[in-house]
Amino acid sequence: MIVQRRKRRADARTARSEQRTHASARAQGALVGTMAACQLFLDGTGRMLPDAGGALWWSALLCPAGALLLTLPIARMRREADGRELADVALAALPAPVALALCALCGLTLLLDAAAALYGLTELTHASLLPQTDERVIVLMALTALLLSAYAGLTGMQRLAFLLRRTLPILLLLLMAWSLWGRPIENLYPLAGHGVRESLRLGAGSLGAGACALAAGFLPGGVRQLPQVRARETCGYCLSGHLLAVLLLLGLSLSTPYSLWPLAGGWGARMVLQGRPALYNGILYRMVTVLQLTALLIAACGALLFAAHALSRAMRGRRDRLAFALAFALLTAAGLLRSRLGLSWLLAAMPWRYAAALAVVWLPFLARRQPAGEAGA
């Protein structure tokens, strides 16, 4: 009797541990999806809407396909390696210098995602909520909020993203439906685009938003091992972020008069939410802005923590604190030099980020397949 009771307790503990592990994996997928959504949102506000609004729909189709080219090999390699991280798989399949270089490249790619999210957080705050405040003060405020959020670690960011996985899209959809109620159909004209070729070119350039799927190659926060990797859940949560990105862009483009886009001089000016003088609409637009800022903060913090973890693996050890200090210092320098560098270099680096992500994922994947092919021959 006592033996059976102890066995039932052990089985219950094992079941609870497996449930927590799978919940952490789902929360990691929600965080990666939020990161992809914000990257697509930033690329859309920076390049698509001012030139061709129809590129939004091409990016909504092409970017998930690009994310699948990264997520599926990652999930398969991790499943075959008993849930180990992508860095361990690369070290086992490739020479050590090449694997460490890929870890460093992965960290820099994710750090660029964090820099883009920080730029968007700063610009949107300055353009909508604090237009009279100095930009450097807003950058310092954003960095402080980022540092305080990073104190919660990957576990906290994953839980927050998982908590908002349905709440954020539903609230955005309801607020946009309420703000568009009774407005003329001309508000939908910006989404028609200005030509298939230009829209397709701009939409293909947003493939770099799928580079944040590299974060799926790491263990979730608070988990030491993940013996079973569910590729379907990982891909589903990573791709669900694109729905959030479409809602973010719709909330911005439909609530802004189209006549303002050609007159906008800077990237931040394009992101201003200009509403009707009615009080309830002003409140609605501010609420949409707060939701967008929340998503950007989660994305920036998640990308920073994943980048720090990748850099720590590139340092031949678990030097998470040193790697986080290095990543945060680089991010701070990029934020303070924002007025000189601008955003054009980040938008131009979008396709190159995706090329780097393909190299990080597919080189270990092909190296693992090569011995099997030679043995079969």
pLDDT of residue 260: 37
In this structure, is the dihedral angle defined by the CA atoms of residues 359, 365, 366 and 371, taken in order, positive or negative?
A: positive
240-264 b/e (C-beta count within 10 Å ≥ 16 → b):
bbbebbbbbbbbbbbbbebeebeeb
Domain count of the chain? 1
pLDDT of residue 181: 64
pTM of the model: 0.84
Report d(CA 177, CA 370) in Å as an integer: 53
Report d(CA 198, CA 192) in Å as an integer: 12
Contact 83, 229 (CB under 8 A): yes
Our separate counts of H helices and E strands in the chain read: 16, 0
* Token pair belonging to 207: 């493939």
* Token pair belonging to 194: 């200005």
Q: Does residue 8 fall inside a structural domain? A: no
CATH value at residue 340: 1.20.1740.10
pLDDT of residue 331: 92
| DSSP state at residue 44 | I
Q: Does residue 249 fall inside a structural domain? A: yes
In order along the chain (377 residues), what is the average pLDDT of each group of 10 residues?
A: 68 67 77 82 64 59 79 84 85 92 94 89 80 87 92 86 81 70 51 58 73 84 62 64 64 48 40 41 71 88 93 82 92 84 74 90 89 48
Helix, strand, coil percentages for the chain (3-state, nearest 5)? 80, 0, 20
Q: Does residue 377 fall inside a structural domain? A: no
pLDDT of residue 363: 94
C-alpha dist (Å) from residue 231 to 30, 179, 224: 14, 38, 19
pLDDT of residue 306: 93
Contact partners, residue 192, CB within 8 Å, separation at least 6 = 53, 54
pLDDT of residue 17: 65
Q: Does residue 17 fall inside a structural domain? A: no
- Find the domain containing 283 and state its range: 26-369
Q: Does residue 9 fall inside a structural domain? A: no
pLDDT of residue 258: 37
Q: Does residue 343 fall inside a structural domain? A: yes
Q: Does residue 15 fall inside a structural domain? A: no
Q: Does residue 19 fall inside a structural domain? A: no
